[in-house]
Copies of this chain bind each other. A is one copy, B any other.
Amino acid sequence: MDLSAIVEDSCARDWETVDADTVDPVRFAVIGLGWFTKGRALPALEASDRCEPAVMVSSSTEKAERIAAETDGADHGITYDEFHDGAARDAYDAVYIVTPNALHLKYVETAAEFGKAVLCEKPMERDSERAARLRDTAADAGVELMIAYRMHTEPAVRRARELIADGYVGEPMSVTGDMSQRLLDRIDPNPDQWRLDAELAGGGALFDIGIYPLNTARFLLDADPLAVTGNTSSTHDAFGEVDETVAFSVEFPDEVYGQCYASHNARQSSGITVTGTEGQVRVEPAFFQDQSRQLHVSRGDGRASVTVEKVDQMLEEFDYFADRLRGDAPIRPDGDHGLVDMHAMEAIYEAAETDRWVSVD
């Protein structure tokens, strides 16, 4: 992995194991038809050679059928209740769960009952106890479970990870990451949405966007948190129940320290930087889908910035998931991986309440 290879082949799908032409596409039941599904997920499923958006699942028959009619490859529009009752169960192979966090478990329970593979949005659930049940439910039923961390198939992040694994930065020493946006600007005119509801979301900025620098730090370092501390704050009434802003620190093994920031009330910004004894690798912008990625590296006397072609991150993620379902390679990130973030985020909230460092179980 050298820089020339990165420039030339930055978007290589190095994870591919199965020729798409030799296998049937994976047919999805898409559970939850909010703006993210309509704007990001369905276009990716429509564009994919490996996937089909077969079944739309929503709160009303009318909405589900309307979106099914608008979506290439969708033949069914059913309600949540009908889904649980087994409607159209022969029409899909896997479920993609993109509901409020606290509803993930019950859809996984039904998918497990029907023997369907699961791609579940992050964070896994609203708390670690339910996330553990979610993982166990899939394992007990023998269905595949992947947590939808799209940074794991984001080319710029993968190239950064390869550089780090190959020793480009020497021994990693620190990681810094941030993600911020003006959520209230984005979701207007519907401010009272589930992301602000503690019962449905489980957490605020940390669960929704702080999980990006947290999880990407883990992915880049290939290491998990030992202890965390942090602070949360809110300035808007809409964030009365959950954190609007979080600043947190993570102790990784080998005295590698992480410092992360996430806010729903700050200028859009996103980046992650790993500094080692010999070099530095930074992806910035990093986490928002509508921006091209830049990979900034420095080592020795020089520094360079590589602009990585923008890919459809949801397409990469869906195609990876389908590749794994149709092949034999293990599927990652799995439920155990997602559960580590749940424990870490709960520890950050505990630390914020108690003003101390909290070990991550």
Contact = CB atoms under 8 A, between A and B. Distances in A.
Interface in A156-199: 169-170, 173-174, 176, 178, 180, 182
How many copies the complex holds: the figure is: 2
Contacts of A182: 277
A245 interface: yes
Contact of A249 (B178, B249, B267): B249
A278 B178 CA distance: 16
A255 B231 CA distance: 9
Given A235-B255, A255-B233, A266 B261 contact: no
Contacts of A257: 231, 233, 245, 247, 261
A153 interface: no
Contact of A267 (B245, B269, B277, B356): B277
Interface string A224-241: 000101010101000000
Interface in A50-68: none
B275 A267 contact: yes
Contacts of A269: 275, 280, 298
A251 interface: yes
Interface residues of A, number: 38
Contacts of A357: 229, 355-356
B173 A265 contact: yes
Contacts of A227: 355
B247 A259 contact: yes
A245 B249 CA distance: 15
A259 B357 CA distance: 15
Interface string A345-361: 00000000001110000
The winner among A235, A269, A277 for most chain B CB atoms within 10 A is: A269
Interface string A323-357: 00000000000000000000000000000000111
B276 A266 contact: yes
A266 B173 contact: yes
B263 A173 contact: yes
A130 interface: no
A-B pairs, 7 with minimum CB distance: A247-B257, A259-B259, A233-B255, A355-B357, A173-B266, A356-B356, A174-B261
21 contacts: A169-B267, A173-B263, A174-B180, A178-B275, A182-B277, A229-B249, A229-B357, A231-B251, A231-B257, A245-B257, A247-B249, A247-B257, A249-B249, A249-B259, A257-B261, A259-B261, A261-B275, A265-B277, A267-B277, A269-B280, A269-B298
